[in-house]
Structure formats: structure tokens, C-alpha cells
DNA sequence: CGCTTATTGAAAATCATTTTCAATTATAAG
DNA sequence: CTTATAATTGAAAATGATTTTCAATAAGCG
């Protein structure tokens, strides 16, 4: 029931529940790879044809604000969104099929702090994404 | 003589050396923080006022292709360029002043491989950026 | 020096994103 | 169940970044 949980959190955040938002949430919350606004638009219109692209942008913005999605940066562009996993902040993305997967990086945070100290930086954030081929996309 | 080295590599790559390219290379190769195309344009016109923004885009594209610059992703946008350090692939960027710094991540590459194996991914690349405050920008 | 062709800057075209706006609709109050 | 109010909507226009087109220029070869 991720979608329902997201809708609850939207409401909790003071936002109204509308058809447009439901459609966007349905698509994004159930997806295992990053989607651009246009991809969300196309998928969500299958359910709710009256949807406007503008509402997709606006809804993604709110989901991002609530920490429900995370922005993914890729070669081609930097405007794709993925459900945000709690606690696990690091990503692996398959170059071929686009499937995304979070992995736990508890051991890394300490390392980042250490690297920061070496260079006299106080580290406040990090961005880590691995790319490669998932099991299914690997040649024999 | 980084600038000269870059110009050599451009020529080696089959490209001609022009005033426009010289101006762009001068600016980017000597900069310690990420610059957007427009920022490069503004800085380079101080030296070569006839420069067109289009040539900045085109030159940055070629420098990227030759591995001389690297694209940096940041909150606001993902279109800033930084000289590419050889061997050191990981970045720390100061949130305040924008100063960028590479650090060696030999120990990390092994770790990335291991994480990949755990999830049956063959890792072919990674993207790591730390952000924080550099020594000068830290409050006492 | 002269030829060939890559490169140029300006302008137009394209593409993604944001803003504007009047109409609609979710929600709270009656 | 109404009604009132303010958030939300989609369409269209506006913006901003990037790319393409194109005739003029200039780099680099012979």
C-alpha cells in the first residue's frame, strides 16, 4: 500500500487529494526505475486521461519536498524520479534496463566523514550512484 | 601549463585551435570550481569579446569528450563543468563557495565492486560527490 | 599564397520547465 | 446535504537553456 501511504502523507502535509495526484502517485510509487516527468505523464494518463503535464511537475515537486521521491542524475539528463527508500541512500542503476536498487551504506557515511576531515571539510551531504549491469542484463 | 596541454590534446583529437577555444580553455582549465556554460561565456569574453555562447557549448562538449572536464551535478542544476583530475574520480564541493576538490578513492572502488557482487550487478561506473563546508567557509 | 573544410557567431528553432489565469473541485463549515 | 472558500486544475503563454541552421570566416595543409 505504498500509494495509500503516500497519499496520506500528502494530505498530512496539508495538500488536497485529487485525481491528478492519485494518478501520479500510483505510477511513481509502484515503479522500480527512474521516470522523467514526461514518462510519468504518459503512464498516468492511461489511468486519468485528463491529466496535465503541469500537474505532474507540481506533484513531483511536492513528493520530493515530502521526501517520498528522490531525484536521479543520469548521463542523458538529471530529471528522473524514483521512490525514496528510507535509510538507504545509495543507488545502483542498471545501464541497460534502468532498474534501480538501493543498498545500505552505513559503512560509507563514516568513511565520508573521515575523508572530509582529511581535507578540512565538514561533510553535510553526499551523492552516490553506482551504475552497471543487473543480473538479467549481463551477457553470459 | 594545463591550458597548453589541453590545447594540444584538442589538436591531437583532430580539432583546430581557434581564438574561441583558447579563451574557453583558459578559463576552464584554471578554475577550481564548477562553472556553467554561461559563467564560462562571461569569463571568457573578458579575454575574447567576440566569443559566442554557442562556441562555449561546443567547446565544453569536446573537452568532455576528451576527458578534460567533468560534469558536476548540483542541487540547482546539472550543467556545470570542472577540470577532470586524472585518477582521482571523487569530488568534494563546498556548498558555500563552490570550491571543488578531488580526493583519491582507491579504497572505494573495491568496495563498490563488493556491493555490486552482493546485488548481482557488474559495476561499470560510479558517481560520487560529497558536499559540505570547506575550511574557510566553516563557522568558528 | 591559395585551397579546402572546420569553425564561427547570430538568429531561429527546439525542448524542458515555469508562470499565468480563469474554471473546477476538495474540503471544511453551516 | 448545501454552501463557501481556497487549493488545484489544465491550457496557453512565457521563460530559459540548449541545439540547429547558415552564410561568413579563418585554421592548417600543400
The terminus-to-terminus CA distance of chain B in angstroms comes to 37
> What kind of fold does domain A2-83 have according to CATH?
Arc Repressor Mutant, subunit A (1.10.10)
To the nearest whole angstrom, how far is the Cα of B38 from the nearest Cα of chain A?
Answer: 18
User: Within chain A, which residue ranges are assigned CATH 3.30.1490.190?
Assistant: 90-135
Backbone φ, ψ for residue B130 (5° rounding): -100, 150
Q: How much is the pLDDT for A76?
A: 67
Collapsing DSSP to helix, strand or coil, B34 comes out as: coil
Which chain A positions have a beta carbon within 8 Å of B126's beta carbon? 128-131
Closest residue in B to A101 (Cα) is: B119
Which chain B positions have a beta carbon within 8 Å of A116's beta carbon? 92, 130, 132
Considering only the beta carbons, identify the residue of A108, A115, A125 that sits closest to B103.
Answer: A115
Q: How much is the pLDDT for B81?
A: 94
User: For the CA atoms of B27, B29, B35, B38, what is the dihedral angle to 10 degrees?
Assistant: 40
Considering only the beta carbons, identify the residue of A116, A123, A133 that sits closest to B122.
Answer: A133
Angle at B29 between CA B27 and CA B34, to 5 degrees: 80
User: Within chain B, which residue ranges are assigned CATH 3.30.1490.190?
Assistant: 90-137
pLDDT tens for each residue of A66-80: 999 998 887 767 889
User: Within chain A, which residue ranges are assigned CATH 1.10.10.10?
Assistant: 2-83
The answer to whether the beta carbons of residues A72 and A80 sit under 8 Å apart is yes
Could you give the residue ranges of the DSSP H alpha helices within A17-102?
A: 19-29, 37-45, 53-65
pLDDT tens for each residue of B86-96: 766 789 999 88
Measured CA to CA, the distance from residue B119 to residue A103 in angstroms comes to 9
Q: Please name the CATH architecture into which domain B90-137 falls.
A: 2-Layer Sandwich (3.30)
From the list A132, A91, A125, A80, the residue with the least C-alpha distance to B78 is A80
Superfamily of domain A90-135: Ferric-uptake regulator, C-terminal dimerisarion domain (3.30.1490.190)
**Interface with chain A: mutation pick from B78, B121, B131, B133, highest number of A CBs within 10 Å:** B121
Residue A61, CB-side half-sphere exposure with 13 Å CA sphere: 7
pLDDT tens for each residue of B56-85: 999 999 999 999 999 888 776 788 999 998
Q: Is A116 in contact with B130 (Cβ distance < 8 A)? A: yes
Amino acid at each position: 500500500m505504498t500509494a495509500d501511504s503516500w497519499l496520506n502523507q500528502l494530505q498530512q502535509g496539508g495538500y488536497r487529494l485529487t485525481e491528478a495526484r492519485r494518478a501520479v502517485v500510483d505510477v511513481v510509487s509502484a515503479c522500480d526505475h527512474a521516470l522523467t516527468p514526461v514518462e510519468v505523464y504518459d503512464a498516468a494518463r492511461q489511468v486519468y486521461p485528463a491529466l496535465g503535464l503541469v500537474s505532474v511537475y507540481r506533484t513531483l515537486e511536492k513528493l520530493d519536498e515530502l521526501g517520498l521521491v528522490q531525484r536521479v542524475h543520469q548521463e542523458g539528463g538529471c530529471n528522473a524520479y524514483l521512490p525514496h527508500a528510507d535509510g538507504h541512500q545509495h543507488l545502483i542503476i542498471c545501464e541497460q534496463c534502468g532498474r534501480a536498487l538501493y543498498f545500505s551504506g552505513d559503512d560509507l557515511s563514516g568513511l565520508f566523514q573521515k575523508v572530509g576531515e582529511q581535507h578540512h571539510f565538514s561533510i553535510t551531504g553526499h551523492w552516490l550512484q553506482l551504475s552497471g549491469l543487473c543480473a538479467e542484463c549481463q551477457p553470459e
